A and B are shown apart, each in its own frame.
Chain A
């Protein structure tokens, strides 16, 4: 379909046709460094996105209770921003350069549907960095003006979350190219419904998708090629209002909050177990960090449910892979109840997708094949996330044993410990579950999109650099990414673990 739409207009470019085998080899090698780079980046950026909630909770409680311990906790917790932002900035720069240098075809995305979110992200980035510096610098200076100081903290929260929203909006557009109307469904993947209003010029979209698939990213070396794509859209803001972006953001904000608050809780628990610091001080920290994580863990299933519904609606093949529904389909009473309100809906599977009119084009076939190939992994990662989400939910309910006698009694009966003692050990499970759930969730999401960079429009080898990527280049970049990871972790160690002074005893 795409070939017939595009080749007549770009025939002259047959001098530089895309060498598919070398493009795939390039893309496959590039993928390793991208995956590692993004995960390393994510480790640091979650402290910018989710952790301000913990810091501000400490400071707010301190202000209300006039308890200096909470101010100390807020100050101590906020120190992590220095390291996490520095490491986040360097890995972010790496990811961004990786995008324009290694995945150079994505420049077309930045110049089109991602222009508005990425330019807004620039404001967010500078607001975040400047206000982090101001927040840390003025912690003691503004001790008599806590509200003003907290407003600076809200500024950090606003900046980091605006940044997160805009970046996730770009990722969401790559998952669900909102504003392309019927283009994907009618031309490439027949199971895809209408993707929002028809505000992207379908002729331009066809030329871009076809040019990239025929010639690779080298076509962007021609300014004239961009002229052919004009006018591209009538609504440059559309990626920001993508429903997938909204849900993805909420899901990720909650995940970042869960991860960072449980990591902080496990750090405090480690201090309690080792007897470092005052017990009462540590207990206050544990109650707040675990509490924030618990609330986020209770809200997360709602966001997760919405995310699953969008997957079912817009990316049916990935939904089947995630849920482990086979080629011929099958029954799943829980899914059926969640989606249709009854227990006997039949999910039809890949064979049904293949039977749809228009599904015989090579892209649709390649998409289904990728879902089948990666299916077991996607299913594994997806269910790892779901199961660990359930674990987090149980831990969250257990937290309220601190305040509800009935829950406390259950905990005592099962674990022979009171809730306070239970939380000390449960926080490690919370940190582990949160981290693994996040890693798995993103693995399922990104793996599910194979072979597409932009679902239904542009595949991986079409946007990779035309420059050959060697194994040595990949190894060198990955070693650097690991060096950044360890340098950042070392920074955390220097700030939070080195120099503990033993205070008294063990857990009471």
Chain B
């Protein structure tokens, strides 16, 4: 296989693996402070304890997601250097915003976790808000890249004696019509997926007598609101794609992926409303979690695959991926092959560790921290 094939496989594999994890990171980063703040303000200690339990999952998932972000950058620079340069040049401020978001999110996440019960509750809540804001800033910046390759607003093409330069024009990249609905959809679908998962978790803990019904109701309400809003923003996004990125729209209509996504989104909303039925809350939340995750990944994959053979879509046409691939030399195939193999092996190890840490030997069964100082 050549650079183009490995470039597409490598970037797709890394992006979707990254996306799989960051969704939960974003969702938990928003949900956890909500549980803590409502718990402290409403004097419900169980909310605070529930938030703490969720944070222990967040920390572990975030480290894995963070590693994959590095993978993504290196694959982009290695296989798609000119594309990455254009993105960092044209989208300097949005990408910087995302970097600031990453820094705020990880630092506040670490402080949030390590200072539980070690600082005043008011300060801890503020740290939680920073954690949520940091997490929300990341897609606020990174979505600009996807909006730009769907509709290169803010980029001008200068062809000077055979050399094509993609450079910024005077337009504000934040005003790209695809950008805002994409950001809002990304935020809300992440929260919806995570809140379905959290509802399943809350139900299980309720059955074990660890938490009361209030947690379950709160998580259910968030699921209903976020699912409904995710559907609305998805439809807005599709409308803008139809207007400004016709090639992607036509492809998605042609292979029925658009109608499938819309039907799945409607089912997701119906399932979330179904959570109001007390007897069905457990099976519906499990189905909802699986379906919303599938919807999110399916829609994202289709939006990106539909761009092919172009890497940047301009109306009904675009810039072929083959023009942007690194032409300097053939990157040895053993490098991406070994990368994918290592990833799979380490993912298995990671999941086994999660199983050991949370199911076989939960933290309360292990030695108390600090006993050996």
Hey, which chain B residues are within 8 Å of A137, CB to CB?
353, 356-357
Q: Which residues of B contact A480 (CB under 8 A)?
A: 100, 103-104
Return the contact of B346 from the options A111, A120, A126 (Cβ within 8 A): A126
B373 to chain A, nearest CB (A): 6
A466-B343 Cα distance, complex, nearest whole Å: 35
Question: Can you list 6 residue pairs at the A/B interface with Cβ under 8 Å?
Answer: A76-B372, A86-B110, A90-B107, A133-B60, A224-B162, A229-B328
Asked whether, in the complex, the Cβ of B96 is within 8 Å of the Cβ of A101, the reply is yes
What is the interface of chain A, defined by CB distance below 8 A to chain B?
A: 10-13, 15-16, 72, 75-76, 83, 85-87, 89-90, 92-94, 96-97, 100-101, 104, 107-108, 110-112, 115-116, 118-123, 125-127, 129-131, 133-134, 137-138, 140-141, 204, 217-218, 220-227, 229-234, 236-237, 276-277, 465-467, 473, 476, 480, 483-484, 487-488, 490-491, 494-496, 498-501
Interface positions, chain B 139-185, Cβ under 8 Å from A, are 158, 160-167
Q: With the chains together, A232 CA to B75 CA distance in Å?
A: 18
Complex contact B89–A225 (CB within 8 A): no
- Give the size of the chain B interface in residues (CB under 8 angstroms): 73
Q: Is B276 an interface residue, CB under 8 A from the partner?
A: no
**CB neighbours of A121 from chain B (8 A):** 74
Chain B min CB distance to A31 (Å): 17
Please report the number of residue pairs spanning A and B whose Cβ atoms sit closer than 8 angstroms. 233
In the bound complex, residues from chain A placing their C-beta under 8 Å from that of B356 are: 137-138, 141
In the complex the two chains form, what is the Cα distance from A232 to B78 in whole Å? 13
Q: Which of B23-31, B65-73, B202-210, B261-269 contacts A (4 or more CB under 8 A)?
A: B65-73
Task: Given A111-B326, A491-B110, A501-B373, decide whether A484 and B103 contact each other with a Cβ distance below 8 A.
Answer: yes
Are A220 and B85 within 8 A (Cβ)?
yes
Q: Does B5 touch A at the CB level, under 8 Å?
A: no
Segment touching A, from B42-50, B187-195, B331-339: B331-339
Residues of A within 8 A of B75 (CB): 119
A230 touches B110 (CB 8 A): no
On chain B, the residues within 8 Å of A465 by CB distance are 88-89, 92
Rounded to whole Å, the gap between the CB of A270 and the closest CB of chain B is 12
Which B-chain residue is minimally distant from A487 (CB atoms)?
Answer: B107
Instruction: Identify which of A92, A129, A225, A466 contacts B163 (C-beta below 8 A).
Output: A225
Query: Are A491 and B166 in touch, CB under 8 angstroms?
Result: no
Any A CB within 8 A of the CB of B361: yes
Whether the Cβ atoms of A110 and B77 lie closer than 8 Å is yes
A280 CB → nearest B CB, Å: 14
Contact string against A for B residues 91-128, beta-carbon threshold 8 Å, 1 for contact and 0 otherwise: 01001100110111011001100110010000000000
Please tell me if B278 contacts chain A, counting CB pairs below 8 Å.
Answer: no
> 1/0 contact trace for B297-331 toward A, CB 8 Å?
00000000000000000000000000110111101
Pair A131/B349 contact, Cβ less than 8 Å:
yes
Contact B164 A222 (CB under 8 A): yes
Chain A CB within 8 A of B257 CB: no
Contact A112 B99 (CB under 8 A): no
Q: Judging by beta carbons under 8 Å apart, are B81 and A101 in contact?
A: no
Are A100 and B73 in contact, CB atoms less than 8 angstroms apart?
yes
Known A101-B88, A491-B114; judge A92-B70 contact (CB<8 A). Answer: yes
Contacts of A131 in B (CB 8 A): 349
B324 touches A223 (CB 8 A): yes
- Measured CB to CB, the closest approach of chain B to A468, in angstroms, equals 10
Least CB distance from B169 to A in Å reads 12
Nearest CB of B to A13, in Å:
6
Report A-chain residues with C-beta under 8 Å of the C-beta of B331.
115-116, 119, 236
